[in-house]
Structure 1
Amino acid sequence: MKFRYAAILGAIAALALPFSAASAQTALKWAHVYETSEPFHTESVWAAQEIEKRTNGRYHIDVFPASQLGKEADINQGLTLGTVDIIISGSSFAAREFPPIGVTYFPYTFRDADHLLAYTKSDIYKQLTKGYEEASGHHIVATTYYGTRQTTSNRPIEKCSDMLGLKMRVPDVPAYLAMPRACGANTTPIAFAEVYLALQNGTVEAQENPLTTIEAKKFYEVQKNIVLTGHIVDHLNTIVSQSRWSQLSDEDKAIFTEVMQEAAARATKKIVEREQKLVQFFKDKGVTVTEVDKADFEKAVTEKVKFEDFGYRKADWEAIRAVK
């Protein structure tokens, strides 16, 4: 009899195991606005799977690309509303909560992708991300290189003054506007989906974006010149919501951090490699690719643009510039 009861209890326990395991698993939502083919998505999927594996299935993360859960402003708000747990987003949105972190978008702050990566390991990075966390409650876990912003134009550009009067599409982000306006361009915001047509029909004569975007959106088809102004080394942050981060154990926080930073490094490597190949790609397409004296552009910005106009602190900028 005792054996029969033990066998029955054992069978019940065995049946209960899958249910208890399932109930112990926490489902999370990770959202971003990038396409499924881009490294920001593919490496996020890798990270989601890796976190599930390293936490022994305690967390299952679904990644929602291409604005499936809303535009960038929406998913940032979703962190607070609790509709998303993790997002990938630019520092321009983080700066809405904590303006000083936006100094990373000030023209000619970073020398290149290596400088950006060195910054993510620096004390000033810790200070700025901590300031954002104190202001918003949310936690920046990793930063990924997005690409260096360059200029395309139907007008040859070799120096800053060549941009005088140029009709140029620039996103309505203050730091993005700084260099073109300092050089005298007439800037206008146009919806990203409409930029190709606006360049094609002459509504604007120029725009600025990383080389990978110029390729993906085929802007080179309707622009004669790619000018390597390199004015902003653009980047994205991986952010975990306050509510979710506070619920993680120290062990799980360490796992999330390690995996997400590894994913950021993997994506960065792919983007850098792609950019290096694109200059020749554009030349092969018959586009004129021009190297410029960046110091000339930087001089115009530093003379005409004040950090305080954006809510930035010059000391932060100087600390970032000093990172080796």
Structure 2
Amino acid sequence: MKFTLRGLIGAAAVLMASTLASHAQTTLKWAHVYETSEPFHTESVWAAEEINKRTNGRYKIDVYPASQLGKEADLNQGLKLGTVDIIVSGSSFAARDYPRIGVTYYPYIFRNPEHLIAYTKSDIFKELAKGYEDATGNHIAAVTYYGTRQTTSNKEIKTCADMQGLKIRVPDVPAYLAMPRACGANTAPIAFAEVYLALQNGTVEAQENPLTTIEAKKFYEVQSNIALTGHIVDHLNTLISKQLWSSLSDEDKQIFTEVMMEAAERATKKVQEREAQLVQEFKDKGIKVNEVDKADFEKNVLEKVSFEEFGYDKADWEAIRAIQ
């Protein structure tokens, strides 16, 4: 009787441990460099809460905005080291590990946001995303339209030649250098969090970012002109670390992917809606907003910037340009 009771107690303990393990909560870190007011943050928070719900509380995800866990380069490094589990970051950073994927930042490769979204559903995207995952182990779960990059300055810019000698801040990423350097500008790789001060004190005279970022970071307060150069139709990837992705069950992988793609679609819609409103709002603030000769800019880039110097493949560029 003693041995039977002991056995029953042991079996119950094993069952209880198994039940507790199945309901154990894993806490994850999701980080990015964007402001709390931006959809890249609000939709990350929504996704974190939604994943918690759909996994019955097995995953608690804390979202760290506005470079709280480091600059974008730090976050990408953290993804490798396992100090952060999920990040929102551009393909320009992914290209440091897999150069081919950076071709999406070659100026004027995308006609508009719709072309970008079509690309994310194409075979060439699947090929490039797989190449990045093979190189790093990190998984691209979703892609969000970040906005079309425009140029702000304290002088009027209408043609490529107008940028000759201009001191402009660009991210420390080769792809972003292409258009400014093709136009003769002097580029400075100032950290994103320090751009406002650099513009304010004259360290640089110009910068380039989407209208939504120009608003969120209040760059319009220290710049008098916005040139609609539209040189890069930008995007952000939602990246899951190798450690986390490999630890997820197939069911959880599906949940994470579905939620992150929904969040990306929600954020993309908000960005597009906001961009449509901002030109007039900036004009109302007294900022001069002008169209530029995009064909002139594109011509200079194609003539002066080779694909090979960035590690890009022209065949990838051609495949993306052909997407309808």
TM-score by shorter chain over 0.5:
yes
Q: Cα deviations across residues 246-285 of structure 1 (Å, max 9, x unaligned)?
A: 2222222111111100001111111111111110011111
- The 1:139/1:268 distance shift into structure 2, 3 A limit, reads same
* Cα distance between partner residues in 1 of 2:38 and 2:130: 29
1:192-207 alignment runs, 5 A limit: 192-207=192-207
Once structures 1 and 2 are overlaid, which stretch shifts more, 237-246 or 186-195?
A: 186-195
Q: Cα deviations across residues 100-159 of structure 1 (Å, max 9, x unaligned)?
A: 001111111111211111111111110000000000011111011111110112222111
- The 1:28/1:221 distance shift into structure 2, 3 A limit, reads closer
Once structures 1 and 2 are overlaid, which stretch shifts more, 17-26 or 118-127?
A: 17-26
| Secondary structure of residue in 1 paired with 2:27 | strand
Partner of 1:29 in structure 2? 29
* Cα distance between partner residues in 1 of 2:26 and 2:46: 18
- The 1:213/1:63 distance shift into structure 2, 3 A limit, reads same
Report the RMSD for the aligned CA atoms in angstroms: 2.2
Q: Cα deviations across residues 2-35 of structure 1 (Å, max 9, x unaligned)?
A: xxx9xxx9xx99xx69971675333222222222
Letter in 2 for 1:251: E
1:145 matched to 2:145? The reply is: yes
**Contact in 1 for aligned 2:159/2:293 (Cα 8 Å):** yes
Partner of 1:294 in structure 2? 294
Partner of 1:232 in structure 2? 232
1:101 matched to 2:101? The reply is: yes
Once structures 1 and 2 are overlaid, which stretch shifts more, 313-322 or 246-255?
A: 246-255
Percent sequence identity is 78
Partner of 1:134 in structure 2? 134
* Cα distance between partner residues in 2 of 1:109 and 1:155: 26
Partner of 1:283 in structure 2? 283
Alignment TM-score, normalising by the size of structure 2: 0.90
Which runs of structure 1 show a deviation greater than 4 angstroms over 4 or more consecutive aligned residues?
16-19
- The 1:221/1:243 distance shift into structure 2, 3 A limit, reads closer
Letter in 2 for 1:242: K
Gaps of 5+ in 2: none
1:148-187 alignment runs, 5 A limit: 148-187=148-187
| Secondary structure of residue in 2 paired with 1:97 | coil
1:71 matched to 2:71? The reply is: yes
Partner of 1:113 in structure 2? 113
1:5-20 alignment runs, 5 A limit: 20=20
- The 1:195/1:75 distance shift into structure 2, 3 A limit, reads closer
State the shift of 1:291 in Å: 0.9
Alignment TM-score, normalising by the size of structure 1: 0.90
Letter in 2 for 1:116: L
Gaps of 5+ in 1: none
* Cα distance between partner residues in 2 of 1:29 and 1:286: 41
**Contact in 1 for aligned 2:37/2:216 (Cα 8 Å):** no
* Cα distance between partner residues in 1 of 2:200 and 2:66: 25
Partner of 1:244 in structure 2? 244
Partner of 2:62 in structure 1? 62
State the shift of 1:67 in Å: 2.4
* Cα distance between partner residues in 1 of 2:139 and 2:193: 31
Partner of 1:313 in structure 2? 313
State the shift of 1:65 in Å: 1.9
- The 1:205/1:61 distance shift into structure 2, 3 A limit, reads closer
* Cα distance between partner residues in 2 of 1:30 and 1:199: 30
State the shift of 1:219 in Å: 2.1
